[in-house]
Amino acid sequence: MTLPELYVTLLVAGTVLLTSIAAARTAHRVGLPSLLLFLAVGIVAGEDGLGLRFDDAQLAQALGTAALAVILVEGGLTTRWDDVRRLVAPAGVLATVGVGLSLLVTAAGAHWLLGLDWNVALLLGAIVSSTDSAAVFSVLRALPLPRRLTGLVEAESGFNDAPTVILVLVFSTTTSGVPPIVPLLGDLLFQLAAGGALGVLTGLLGAVALRHIALPATGLYPLATVGFGIIAFAAAGAAGASGILAAYLSGLVLGNSRLPHRAATRSFAEGAGWLAQIGLFVMLGLLVDPSELAGAVLPALVVGLVLLLVARPVSVLLCLLPFRVPWRRQAFISWAGLRGAVPIVLTTFPVVEDVPDAREILDIVFVLVALFTLLQGPTLPAVARRLRLVRTEALREIQVETAPLDVLDADLLTVSIPEGSRLHGVAVFELRLPPPAVVTLIVREGATLVPDRGTVLHAGDDLLLIATPRTREDAERRLRAIGRRGKLARWLGERGAPDPGGAADR
């Protein structure tokens, strides 16, 4: 690749990335799952749109699998163990037995209603039988649902990718409709057990290492944490085990360990997860040919309806029967079985293996994912309310960063008062910050207090302030000025300009 070609490639990639980010913002506002607009970006940029050609199924399979690993590591890092530890058993049953039941019922429907051969029907059923972790994580975490309910669906989506991948590989390489059961179960158990063990072991080793090794920069801790998750994925895959399960479990162990810089790690992981989702869905949008999708609409509707109205409810009912899950929660879990990137990525396996009708399967799965994500995703809040599952007292948890606060159109500032600063002994009202800037919290000797006008600042205090973008610079200047010359700084000609040496009393 020449240098001019590199510039053009980076320009196109950056434009697609920013367009996808804008699409995510639009999807959030209108209540649509982001993956639909990411797919749309890929289709628009593709051969029938702007002319970008991408039809390398093997490359799509490799990149898609790597992106799924990043998404699952992020999902594990951001999942609270307290929310899922009592749900491992039902989630595990849903992720294994439930996948098998969904596969059989969906394949039967595709065979009897569409006349597909059993080989093709079983392969199609295996591809669409699991819920999608990326779709579930992005949609459910925005809903005020009981933690046990959300945790169960999230844990299932994190666990069930592994058996699904195994089944798709088996049906992509077998020449008969039904492979031998005993070898299949043996392979399935080995991959799950070995992948799970490697994931947990890598997570534990990573937690010990990160707690005892002092890295030279804060930004290296998030990189190292995600790196351990990728190592778990690659090690399990190289050992013939389930790398997908290893990636999720390693992230789960690391995310629930007492590691340094957890907030930075979580933010980095979420950013990496979003980047992987954007790249994955845009790539999948490029992979399909929209002009050939019309013939897949009817088969996709039939298979999707069988999956949504029969296969998923039957598998949820039978799998959760021993765990006495209330029927309302079962109904929601059935409806929340979102499909997303995983089924489309899995269709690349039979394409690479030159399975007959593999391209038709790809088109059917793509249309199914698009149509039923559009149906299920936006209706989940209404379904939750109808089933009386919404926690009316629940407040959405917020994360405060040194970044714009969208709702308030404001910035959150942190101010540390060092020894010798003239801010020591100054009352809050004497700061005379430009309105509407305000001191909202003081952290003093490990304790927090909400200040009033008369609260006096001390050296060693950490202040949290909220200011609008227009007043932020004036507020910073005012604090620097008082820190240097005291409460009479303005009268003494001190304007709080940034220190020429780069230091500031913040």
Contact 303, 106 (CB under 8 A): yes
What is the C-alpha to C-alpha distance for residues 203 and 222, in angstroms, rounded to an integer?
Answer: 14
What is the C-alpha to C-alpha distance for residues 284 and 60, in angstroms, rounded to an integer?
Answer: 8
Average pLDDT over residues 288-296: 81
Q: What is the CATH number of domain 405-485?
A: 3.30.70.1450
What is the C-alpha to C-alpha distance for residues 247 and 199, in angstroms, rounded to an integer?
Answer: 6
Has residue 392 got a pLDDT over 60? no
What is the location of CATH 1.20.1530.20 in the chain? 56-386
3-state secondary structure of 340: coil
Q: How confident is the model at residue 250 (pLDDT cuts 50, 70, 90)?
A: very high
Q: Residue 300's pLDDT is what? A: 92
Has residue 322 got a pLDDT over 70? yes
Q: Which helix (H) or strand (E) holds 448?
A: strand 447-449
Average pLDDT over residues 399-422: 67
Average pLDDT over residues 423-436: 89
**DSSP assignment, residue 456?**
B
Nearest Cα neighbor of 99 from 170, 33, 150, 147 is 170
Has residue 34 got a pLDDT over 50? yes
Window from 7-16, 22-31, 87-96, 328-337 with minimum mean pLDDT? 22-31
Window from 225-229, 244-248, 263-267 with minimum mean pLDDT? 263-267
**Residues paired with 415 in a beta bridge:** 463
Q: Residue 31's pLDDT is what? A: 60
Q: Residue 396's pLDDT is what? A: 39
What is the C-alpha to C-alpha distance for residues 452 and 469, in angstroms, rounded to an integer?
Answer: 23
Contact 484, 496 (CB under 8 A): yes
Q: What angle do CA 27, 32, 36 make, to 5 degrees?
A: 85
Has residue 410 got a pLDDT over 60? yes
Tokens of 16: 């697609």
Window from 27-31, 95-99, 251-255, 469-473 with minimum mean pLDDT? 27-31
Has residue 337 got a pLDDT over 90? no
**Residues paired with 439 in a beta bridge:** 465
Provide the 10 A C-beta neighbour count for residue 115. 8
**DSSP assignment, residue 98?**
I
What is the C-alpha to C-alpha distance for residues 230 and 206, in angstroms, rounded to an integer?
Answer: 11
Window from 123-132, 282-291, 491-500 with minimum mean pLDDT? 491-500
Tokens of 150: 């959300």
By 3-state DSSP, what share of the chain in percent is helix, strand and coil, each rounded to 5? 65, 5, 30
Q: How confident is the model at residue 85 (pLDDT cuts 50, 70, 90)?
A: confident
Q: What angle do CA 155, 157, 159 make, to 5 degrees?
A: 70
Tokens of 69: 């690993």
Place of tokens 């290492």: 209
Average pLDDT over residues 175-182: 62
Average pLDDT over residues 329-338: 88
Contact 293, 366 (CB under 8 A): yes
Q: What is the CATH number of domain 56-386?
A: 1.20.1530.20
What is the C-alpha to C-alpha distance for residues 44 and 122, in angstroms, rounded to an integer?
Answer: 32
Nearest Cα neighbor of 481 from 459, 460, 506, 462 is 506
Q: How confident is the model at residue 409 (pLDDT cuts 50, 70, 90)?
A: low
Cα-to-chain-centroid distance, residue 317: 27
Has residue 311 got a pLDDT over 90? yes
Q: Residue 391's pLDDT is what? A: 64
Q: Residue 30's pLDDT is what? A: 62
Measured in degrees and rounded to the nearest 5, phi and psi for residue 463 equal: -105, 145
Q: How confident is the model at residue 290 (pLDDT cuts 50, 70, 90)?
A: confident
Average pLDDT over residues 364-385: 85
Q: Is the peptide bond before 313 cis (omega within 30 degrees of 0)?
A: no
Tell me which of 261 and 328 has the higher pLDDT.
Answer: 328
What is the C-alpha to C-alpha distance for residues 369 and 380, in angstroms, rounded to an integer?
Answer: 16
Query: Considering the entire predicted model, what is its pTM?
Result: 0.69
Average pLDDT over residues 97-101: 90
What is the location of CATH 3.30.70.1450 in the chain? 405-485
Q: Residue 404's pLDDT is what? A: 43
What is the C-alpha to C-alpha distance for residues 460 and 476, in angstroms, rounded to an integer?
Answer: 18
Contact 120, 149 (CB under 8 A): no
452 half-sphere exposure, CB direction, 13 A CA radius: 1
Has residue 180 got a pLDDT over 70? no
For 263, residues 6+ apart whose C-beta sits below 8 A from its C-beta are 399, 401
Helix/strand number for the chain, H first, E second: 21, 5
Average pLDDT over residues 348-374: 86
**CA of 247: how far to CAs of 10, 201, 229, 348, in Å?**
29, 11, 5, 21
Tokens of 265: 């790690």
Tokens of 404: 């714009």
Has residue 27 got a pLDDT over 80? no
Mean pLDDT, the chain, rounded, equals: 82
Q: Residue 176's pLDDT is what? A: 57
